[in-house]
Amino acid sequence: MMFCGSAGPTSANRALLDVVDRVAAAAGWDVESTGGLAAIPMFDPAVGDDDAPDAVVALRTAFERADAIVVAIPEYGGGAAGWAKNALDWMVGSGSLYGRVVAVLCAGTTGGPNAVGQVSRALTWQGAHVVTSLGVAAPMTKRDPDGRIVDEATLHALASVVDDLGAAAGETSRRDDLRSATLERLGIPSDDRTRA
């Protein structure tokens, strides 16, 4: 399942997910994308699960059905895009991301290290297994005039993201190894949740 935190259909983050979609489909995966991000209101922890807005329920359901999730979120002002992070915050009470295998991507001027780190930490706190991440710097230089990713190194890196997700979804020990390596690379202690 793919979650794009960019609104525009020509966004660089959407272009990353388009590659993931093609690679995963070629590998025989059924791929779904979520939409309706603009319909998700400001997170309100006082709203119970039974009263959650329809767009939130739809996103929760999509996450809960997924064997693996790819999250692509832009970095704005040195952090994860607010409305995308807001949508993920709605998952806190439902546990919809708990135990899910996740990849975090960001296409941005510097590759979005802050967005990748913030989202990976937030997902880890929700019990997700962040098993791989990728920041793509200067994405405009990696696209053709139609906005498609054509840079060979980036295409290879995205194919590796799909491979890691497949390995993690299929084997618990591989998932744990990938998760530990990813969190260490991002500077997130594996027991981060318990230190809060």
pLDDT in tens, 51-72: 999 999 999 999 999 999 999 9
Domain regions of the chain by residue span: 2-195
Please give the CATH superfamily to which domain 2-195 belongs: Flavodoxin domain (3.40.50.360)
Answer yes or no: are the C-beta atoms of 40 and 63 closer than 8 Å: no
Q: What pLDDT shows up at residue 7?
A: 80
Q: What is the pLDDT of residue 102?
A: 98
Which regions in the chain score pLDDT beneath 50?
194-196
Who contacts 100 (Cβ-Cβ below 8 Å, separation ≥6)? Answer: 63, 66, 68, 69, 128, 129
What per-residue confidence (pLDDT) applies to 131?
97
78, 89, 11: which is closest to 43 by C-alpha?
A: 89
pLDDT given for residue 195 in this prediction = 41
The pLDDT score that the predictor gives to residue 194 is 43
Spatial distance between the Cα atoms of 112 and 134, rounded to a whole number of angstroms: 9
pTM of the predicted model over 0.75? yes
Digit-coded pLDDT (tens) for 13-47: 999 999 999 999 999 999 999 877 889 999 999 99
